Amino acid sequence: MNANTKFMLSDPIPSEVEKVEQPHWGMYRRIVEAVARPGTVVDFTSLRKGYFSAPTTPYRTAYNAIGIIHRAYEAEKRGYDGFLIGCASDPGLREARALVNIPVVAPLESASLLASTLGNKFSIVLLEQGGCPLAESQIRSYGLRDKLASVRYVPGVTVATCFQAINEGEENKVIDQIVVEIRKAVRDDSAEAAFVGCTIGSSLLTMQGIHQVENAPVIDIIAAEIKMAEIMVDLRRAFGITQCKATIYHPPPPGWEKEMPIPID
Does pLDDT of 98 surpass 50? Answer: yes
CA distance 61 to 261: 22
In the sheet where 40-47 sits, what is the strand order? 40-47, 5-14, 82-85, 104-105
Confidence tier at 1 by pLDDT (50, 70, 90): very low
Task: Tell me which DSSP letter residue 50 carries.
Answer: S
Looking at residue 179, its amino acid is: V
The residue that leads in pLDDT, 57 or 54, is 57
3-state helix, strand, coil in the chain (%, to 5): 50, 15, 35
Give the mean model confidence (pLDDT) for residues 64-84.
97
The beta strand positions in 146-201, using DSSP E, are 148-153, 193-196
Q: What 3-state class would DSSP assign to 11?
A: strand
Q: What is the pLDDT of residue 263?
A: 86
Give the mean model confidence (pLDDT) for residues 200-222.
97
Q: What is the pLDDT of residue 54?
A: 65
CB-CB contact of 121 with 190 (8 Å) = yes
Confidence tier at 19 by pLDDT (50, 70, 90): low
Confidence tier at 178 by pLDDT (50, 70, 90): very high
Give the mean model confidence (pLDDT) for residues 178-187.
98
Looking at the chain, the whole-number percentage of residues with pLDDT higher than 70 is: 96
Helical ranges in 190-260 per DSSP H: 199-207, 221-239, 256-259
CB-CB contact of 176 with 201 (8 Å) = no
CATH architecture observed for domain 5-106+223-259? 3-Layer(aba) Sandwich (3.40)
Q: What is the pLDDT of residue 17?
A: 59
Does pLDDT of 82 surpass 70? Answer: yes
Lowest mean pLDDT among 35-39, 88-92, 162-166, 254-258: 162-166
Question: Does domain 108-220 sit in CATH 3.40.50.12500?
Answer: yes
CB-CB contact of 104 with 82 (8 Å) = yes
Angle at 248 between CA 197 and CA 255, to 5 degrees: 115
Give the mean model confidence (pLDDT) for residues 4-28.
87
For the chain, give the mean pLDDT: 93
Confidence tier at 131 by pLDDT (50, 70, 90): confident
Does pLDDT of 56 surpass 80? Answer: no
Does pLDDT of 174 surpass 80? Answer: yes
Looking at residue 19, its amino acid is: K
Q: What 3-state class would DSSP assign to 164?
A: helix
Q: What is the pLDDT of residue 27?
A: 95
CB-CB contact of 167 with 209 (8 Å) = no
Looking at residue 176, its amino acid is: D
For the chain, give every residue range classified as CATH 3.40.50.12500. Answer: 5-106+223-259, 108-220
Looking at the chain, the whole-number percentage of residues with pLDDT higher than 90 is: 83
